[in-house]
Structure 1
Amino acid sequence: MSVRLDDREPVIVDAVRTPVGRRGGAMQDMHASALLAQVLTALCERTGVPRERVDDVVAGCAAQVGEQAGNIARTAALVGGFPFSVPGVTVTRACGSSQQAVHFADSMIRSGVCDVVLAGGVELMSRTAGGNDDTKYGRRHPAELVERLSMPTMGEAAERIAERWKLDRGWLDQLSLRSHALAAAAQDAGHLATQLLPVTLPNGERLGADEGVRRGGTPEKLAGLQPVFRADGRITAANSSQVSDGAAGLLLMTAAKAREFGLRPRARLKAQLVVGVDPEIMLTGPIPATRRILERAGLSLADIDLFEINEAFASILGAWLAELGPDLDKVNVNGGSIAIGHPLGSTGARLMTNLVCELERRGGRYGLQSMCCGGGLGTATIVERLD
């Protein structure tokens, strides 16, 4: 929209993501830093911003172990051919890591510390045995914490939410089918073209589409799947997000720098926040985060044109829908992580990339993004499209 921008106003000038690959799929032999490097390089090449003009690289990564250890933001910049003078920092806020990376980039620019920042994230779950829950990386929680709080697994927390909100298994499966149907429709209509960066694989081939989207699903097929986390539970592989590989990123800078580089500001962050919730149910963060960020921004639910609520599990989305009551036609309109996949540290930047591109395609003004995070956290961002 037409908004007056002060010179130091942080703006998003570009956003891009890789396709999301299935665990053990096309990207399984990639190194995470090499995958993120393709995103960082593309953002500079697409905008014409010289690499040496980047003041910092902020990258989210949830499982900073193995090949993803050692400050992958810095490593990816080096792999991408950025000058040695360009620093990098890696952050983790579990599933919200790359959303937090964008929050940090916005704050760094707003405070005057930086003028141009690359922000995003990466996760190669094919290479990390799924994440920090793997036992070979050590104990998940100290005994004194487990004695005081149950500290459930993600799956058990999703079951607790389904139980507390009385979410029917059939409804959760319907949300899963909806996610796949919307993602398939977006693929077929070419709605993802502006946000997708085809990835060059180690064998020289190119991956240009999300691998996890399934077609032809039916309620009957999903009903035949066994629960994963409880024998009598409601959470199955079908109504959970997919373990995946991927990277995404955004280029932020001051409005003054955008004018200097001749770039059109595409969007800005209207508001950002993170909340904490009870870790014994852990994944309810998007509910209070949505309410608080709307209050902070001075907006109502009706003011929001698009919502991206991460589909870590269908019960997370189901509880959020039950509490907030939004127009479902505005929610996860190109499918969510159940269909596309959830490479933990990159999903936040993917959701924001989709918001920026889809607000432009539809001519909307405000998009709201929220994610649940391990340990009992909820991230939220309101993105405003700019003309």
Structure 2
Amino acid sequence: METREVYIVSAARTPIGDFRGALSPLSVVELGSIVAEEVMERAGVCKDCVQEIVAGMIYKGGQKGNPARQIQIKCGFPESGYACTIDQQCGSGMRAMEVLSQQIMLGKTEVGLAIGMESMSNAAYVLTNARSIRSGDQKLIDTITYDGLNCAICDYHMGRTAENIAEKYNITRQEQDELAYMSHQRALKAQAEGKFLDEIVPVTITDRKGRVTVVDKDEHPKNSSLETLGNLPAVFKKDGTVTAGNASGINDGAAALLLMSKEAVEKYHVKPMAKIIGTASFGVDPAYMGLGPVYALPKAAEYAGLTLNDIEYFEINEAFAAQFIGCERELKLSREKVNLNGSGIALGHPVGATGIRILVSLLYEGKRQNITYGAASLCVGGGPAIASVLEFL
């Protein structure tokens, strides 16, 4: 069976909010709905053409069933459409895009929305054994850690996996802090130059007293210093090197892509931003989960008929500075070709959203640079990293 070509027609993201910050009053469904509406408006096509929505997120506890379907109905997409919500930890958003692109390749869908979304501020606390309680005190579990930030396989925090990488590659505390500082400086510079204006949809929030707030910029970038970063204590290991300053944040946000087959692009007379030409996952030792992009990126490039030397620009999420530096060393990357506007350390890491957020950032930065091939990748808790390669049009 001949497969169909898949195109990205429009792309947008919310600002990234800090934990319990400006976006915390909004549910994950509300965040996802905002970007869903925005990509449709940017594409200039009607909602009736959208047959499928695939959304990625981690923290579904308390959000009711199948948030992708909730968005589909809330936003007025056809009831006859289909929707599913995917969890692949930090790769959830990009996996949502991959699943949808494969549906289009197979001819099962012509037009669809891929959404990555997370409200870590609204992640639930749970009583895991509540149905068997008879008496006595019980432990309340924070799902932010239990369902995401702690490795289910290694049974320790993801920050410890970054410490493992730092030890493996002899990555110093200073190197990690310098990477973090660079990330923040790049993000602040991008904000000052208005680089994020194209990719961000402002979010309007009305509180209970009717006061209106418009959130139109990322909250997480900080004008810190190397001295300040250097004074922060190690968090995950005694005498360790990973700190709150050289790790990504806990954040809220959403991002979306409108995907179409070549036939749909021609039918609706739209101009695509890029073509999806390669996606891949690759699993690594969970204790070194941050190294996954080292293997997922060349695999995705191979599927696209390319090598990494053909890729002109990369977005690789900074879950931790040590993790990024480990990938950077193995892939022999130039920092002038990666994350020019900051990444997870500076912008934040709303985990289910980040996989699509980095694709949105790749699309707009790639357009500014007039590149032909770009790639995005991120590590994933438990080890199965994911990567995508785009051809710009």
Contact 1:29 1:202 (8 Å CA) reproduced: no
Distance 2:117 2:250 in 1: 13
1:353 counterpart SS class = helix
Evaluate the alpha carbon distance shift between residue 374 and residue 295 of structure 1 in structure 2; reply closer, same or farther with a 3 A threshold.
Answer: same
Contact 1:151 1:279 (8 Å CA) reproduced: no
TM-score with structure 1 length normalisation?
0.92
TM-score with structure 2 length normalisation?
0.90
2:350 corresponds to which residue?
343
Percent identity of paired positions between Structure 1 and Structure 2? 37
Evaluate the alpha carbon distance shift between residue 41 and residue 288 of structure 1 in structure 2; reply closer, same or farther with a 3 A threshold.
Answer: same
Distance 1:335 1:168 in 2: 21
1:44 corresponds to which residue?
40
Distance 1:326 1:175 in 2: 14
Q: Does 1:207 find its partner at 2:207?
A: no
Q: Which amino acid letter does the alignment assign opposite residue 355 of structure 1?
A: L
Distance 2:100 2:315 in 1: 20
2:382 corresponds to which residue?
375
Write out per-residue CA displacement over residues 56-92 of structure 1, whole angstroms, 9 at most, x where no aligned residue: 000000122122x411111122222323223211011
Match 2:94 to one of 92, 99, 103: 99
Q: Which amino acid letter does the alignment assign opposite residue 74 of structure 1?
A: R
Is there any run of 5+ residues in structure 1 with no aligned partner, and where? 1-5
Bigger shift: residues 173-182 or 75-84 = 75-84
Q: Which amino acid letter does the alignment assign opposite residue 169 of structure 2?
A: W
Alignment of 1:232-243 (within 5 A): 232-243=239-250
Distance 2:142 2:193 in 1: 43
Evaluate the alpha carbon distance shift between residue 207 and residue 228 of structure 1 in structure 2; reply closer, same or farther with a 3 A threshold.
Answer: same
Q: Which amino acid letter does the alignment assign opposite residue 46 of structure 1?
A: R
Contact 1:214 1:339 (8 Å CA) reproduced: yes
2:122 counterpart SS class = coil
Contact 1:32 1:123 (8 Å CA) reproduced: yes
Q: Does 1:135 find its partner at 2:141?
A: yes
Distance 1:184 1:361 in 2: 18
Distance 2:141 2:250 in 1: 17
1:384 corresponds to which residue?
391
Is there any run of 5+ residues in structure 2 with no aligned partner, and where? 129-139
Contact 2:274 2:392 (8 Å CA) reproduced: yes
RMSD (Å), alpha carbons: 2.2
Match 1:74 to one of 45, 52, 69: 69
Write out per-residue CA displacement over residues 13-60 of structure 1, whole angstroms, 9 at most, x where no aligned residue: 100000000001111111110111111111112222211210100000
Contact 2:298 2:307 (8 Å CA) reproduced: no
Q: Which amino acid letter does the alignment assign opposite residue 35 of structure 2?
A: V
Contact 2:124 2:143 (8 Å CA) reproduced: no
Match 1:282 to one of 280, 289, 311: 289
Q: Which amino acid letter does the alignment assign opposite residue 51 of structure 1?
A: K
Write out per-residue CA displacement over residues 216-244 of structure 1, whole angstroms, 9 at most, x where no aligned residue: x2211111000111121100001000100
Q: Does 1:113 find its partner at 2:113?
A: no
Q: Does 1:167 find its partner at 2:163?
A: no
Write out per-residue CA displacement over residues 171-209 of structure 1, whole angstroms, 9 at most, x where no aligned residue: 000110111111111111111111110112243321100
Shift of 1:138: 11
2:300 corresponds to which residue?
293
Shift of 1:296: 3.1
Distance 1:333 1:323 in 2: 19
Distance 2:234 2:124 in 1: 21
Distance 1:30 1:356 in 2: 26
Distance 2:194 2:262 in 1: 30
1:282 counterpart SS class = helix
Distance 2:345 2:361 in 1: 15
